[in-house]
Amino acid sequence: MATNKIRSFGVAIVVALSVSRLTAASLKVHASHATEAVTVEWLSEPGQWTTGGRDWRQSYYSPLKQINKDNVAKLGHAWSSDIEGSSKLEATPIVVDGVMYVSSISGMVYALNAGTGEQLWRFDPGLASFAALYSKACCGPVNRGVAFWKGRVYVAAFDGTLYALDAKTGGTIWKADTITDRSRAYTSTGAPYIAGDLVVIGNAGAELDARGYISAYDIQTGKMAWRFFTVPGNPHYGFEHPELKMAAKTWDKDSRWDVGLGGTAFDGMAYDPELDLLYVGTGNGGPWPRTIRSPRGGDNLFLSSILAINPKNGRLKWYYQTTPGDSWDYTATQKMILADIRLRGRVRKVIMQAPKNGFFYILDRGTGELLSAAPYLRKLTWASRVNMKTGRPIESEQARYWKSPRLIFPNPGGGHNWQPMAFNRDTGFVYIPVREMGDVFALPTEPFSYNKSHLNYHVDRGYPDANGHFEVFCKSAKFCPGREEVLKGQPEILPQSFLRAMDPVSGKIEWEVETTQKTLEKKYVGYPGGVISTAGDLIFEGYGDGTFDVRNARNGALLKSISVENPIGAAPMTYMVGDVQYVAFLAGDRSDGAKSRIVALRLDGNAVPPPTQPQIAAQVESRASLSERVTQVTDAKLVNAGRQLFEQNCAICHVRGNAPNLLPLQDATQHQFFDIVLGGVRANKGMGNFSTILSGDDATAIRTYLINTSQDKDH
């Protein structure tokens, strides 16, 4: 494999920044910055929350301290507002001049009075028309937020259309189609980022057949300025830009160019206006095993990398690859924090990230020099450490599941996923929502066959439930070792989740609190929610069980716990309207249909009211005449066929992704199963119509497997 050296392309351009100050916020003057010069200073005004991570540093830290560790016991409900959504809402609201802007399912956008929750306008990018696309996406029609700049709100819809909206009315100013090939399974799930006079967006689909790229558009007109591909195409047809010629040397010339190769930039980005550099995190390869994707090996640039790009011309200045030759879905798309910290006696301008692979990276954000790579996980078996001279992880024999099935930590969900971490400049700690969980990986014995615009990751897996029970997914293998052989000599498999406070300078975990019980979804351990921290010595975090906790930022002590009842996954935020500080967050819908909502808290607030229940509608008549509940069956062939179809088409979202876990299968879902899967009756919740992929017999097999498994107490 090629060495993981830091490369530099060109010279960063420093921009001159305006120092004009802006007038105070006013609820009566909606989007008052529509015609004023927006400055870096304005982005950092304490009462505003102007980007997903609050300001350009993306630290998820607020200098507000009206709510603090001494009075947080008085925190209570200020207002709530119902929105369209699913159980997995992933956006953090922004607040500009007393107006909140937030996205929900598929790129719907809401503008609200941030002091009262009154809806000012709502933008629907075409939710109903996306239903067919849901079946070609991983993992569900999520959206991670909007961007704001000079009176405009920018959002990427699920179908890849980028919109510029008028912040006063929600009307469309311009829109741009960001997808290069609509015959492939491209979607957009990330938030746009503003980089100078450009708005930048990536895409998702590496588990399917996407080839990753990011696109930059003129912020005023929507005209495309440049496009940067994160992996090369077939060298026979040339290269779109010079960096790809270099990247192609790290790929087998006989790589599976037809599948797209992955590397999608579907989430984390950041922009440094002082260095005028755009930072982009890239995703996993597709298919996952490099022995299939690039048979003769190679680092496979720019998979699982951090890229520093000059937004003026779209050229790469430097890159750092966190996981060379990625074969485990260890993306580097997690949020990145820009900070100035003292390391080894000098202040360094750094970029920090905790990608899926279990190591916490600190890089010089001007040059890409690796400064630190300490593990943030206690169970980490795919690699032993990172070589600080070469920047490369020391990959272990345990990681090579293409030789035989292996239990590997972390699992493809990673030790840290999309849920934002936070950096508190007062305590000096980074707060990371972590999951310690391993999976059994196995390489299928049947040859890889490209399935256009559908799942192509080509790995059999076993994943443990909350009690550590799991199947070894060797469904197609001629030989599959027993449980004892696979687990021999490996760490304890019981999954756990934590909130960890890490000192980035020393690389030590200073304290942790276990959050496993708060993240349980039926029989499986999920992720704790995203985190923010404040100058009030506080940390705020929500959980899947509907609780919202406030902790002491210095020692993790629980100071307040509020029951919201809706599941919470995205990071909260905090802002000021007048002389009142609020904390707000998205809370998803429940399994009983209770509506998704935005919840805002303040001091001296009341108890949070329960979520709105939907009106009871007449039962939809099932097209399969499901008048009787199917009982446990003994037809092993049908159950096994259903298991394979579920694993191939459903599990990536419904067990390991953003959709509700289907084990056990609820009675109501059993009776509406065919209407849901083949009829698309829950498209507005993100569950599309699978009738073009699954036959009636296929759906029957999956349903039979789910019912049979749900009734099996030993599963």
pLDDT of 33 reads: 44
pLDDT range class, residue 632, cuts 50, 70, 90: very low
For 348, counting Cβ atoms within 10 Å of its Cβ (0-12 exposed, 13-18 middle, 19+ buried), the class is: middle
pLDDT range class, residue 670, cuts 50, 70, 90: confident
* Residue range 34-44, pLDDT digits in tens: 444 456 666 67
Angstrom distance (rounded) from CA 480 to CA 466:
24
Token couple for 579: 């002389």
Token couple for 338: 């820009």
Whether 296 shows a pLDDT value over 70: the answer reads: yes
Per the DSSP assignment, residues forming a β-bridge with 689 are none
DSSP letter string over 106-124?
GG-EEEEETTT--EEEEE-
In the DSSP assignment, the letter for residue 6 is -
Angstrom distance (rounded) from CA 93 to CA 574:
9
Whether 193 shows a pLDDT value over 60: the answer reads: yes
**381 HSE (CA, 13 A, CB side):** 25
pLDDT range class, residue 683, cuts 50, 70, 90: low
* CB count in 10 Å sphere of residue 313: 12
Higher pLDDT: 477 or 670? It is: 670
Angstrom distance (rounded) from CA 462 to CA 460:
7
Rounded to an integer, the average pLDDT of 452-462 is 90
pLDDT range class, residue 714, cuts 50, 70, 90: very low
pLDDT of 169 reads: 98
Four-residue CA torsion sign, 283, 288, 290, 295? negative
In the DSSP assignment, the letter for residue 54 is B
Residue spans of alpha helices (H) in 328-443: none
pLDDT range class, residue 12, cuts 50, 70, 90: very low
What 3-state DSSP class applies to 245? helix
Backbone angles phi, psi at 639, to 5 degrees: -65, -45
pLDDT range class, residue 68, cuts 50, 70, 90: very high
Lowest mean pLDDT among 123-132, 164-173, 402-411, 521-530: 123-132
Whether 15 shows a pLDDT value over 50: the answer reads: no
Higher pLDDT: 9 or 324? It is: 324
Lowest mean pLDDT among 150-154, 253-257, 466-470, 531-535: 466-470
Cα–Cα distances (Å) from 354 to 267, 421, 625, in that order, read: 13, 8, 50
Rounded to an integer, the average pLDDT of 156-167 is 97
CATH number of 636-710: 1.10.760.10, 1.10.10.10, 2.40.30.10, 1.10.287.130? Answer: 1.10.760.10
Cα–Cα distances (Å) from 642 to 115, 231, 638, 639, 647, in that order, read: 50, 35, 6, 5, 8
Whether 14 shows a pLDDT value over 90: the answer reads: no
Higher pLDDT: 553 or 467? It is: 553
pTM above threshold 0.85? yes
Q: If we measure between CA atoms, which residue out of 80, 71, 208, 47 comes closest to residue 579?
A: 47
Whether 113 shows a pLDDT value over 70: the answer reads: yes
pLDDT of 40 reads: 66
Whether 396 shows a pLDDT value over 80: the answer reads: yes
Q: How many residues does the chain have?
A: 715
Phi-psi region of 465 (alpha: psi -120 to 50; beta: other; left: phi over 0): beta
Higher pLDDT: 659 or 589? It is: 589
Whether 27 shows a pLDDT value over 80: the answer reads: no
Angstrom distance (rounded) from CA 692 to CA 98:
46
Strand order in the sheet with 94-96: 94-96, 99-103, 109-113, 119-123
Whether 417 shows a pLDDT value over 50: the answer reads: yes
- CATH 3.30.70.20 assigned to domain 7-603? The reply is no
Q: Which residues are catalytic?
A: 329
In the DSSP assignment, the letter for residue 33 is G
Q: Which residue spans within 322-418 are E strands per DSSP? A: 336-343, 346-353, 359-364, 370-375, 383-386, 393-395, 406-408
pLDDT of 624 reads: 42
Asked whether the beta carbons of 266 and 333 are under 8 A apart, the reply is yes
Whether 350 shows a pLDDT value over 90: the answer reads: yes
Q: Fill in the amino acid letter for 382.
A: W
pLDDT of 277 reads: 98
pLDDT range class, residue 87, cuts 50, 70, 90: confident
Buried/exposed 522-560: b ≥16 CB within 10 Å, e otherwise: ebbbbbbbbbbbbbbbbbbbbbbbbbbbbbbbbebeebb
pLDDT range class, residue 677, cuts 50, 70, 90: confident
Whether 49 shows a pLDDT value over 60: the answer reads: yes
pLDDT of 457 reads: 93
pLDDT of 475 reads: 60
User: Residue ranges of the domains in the chain?
Assistant: 7-603, 636-710
Angstrom distance (rounded) from CA 557 to CA 512:
10
In the DSSP assignment, the letter for residue 651 is H
**Mean of pLDDT over the chain:** 88
Angstrom distance (rounded) from CA 249 to CA 463:
35
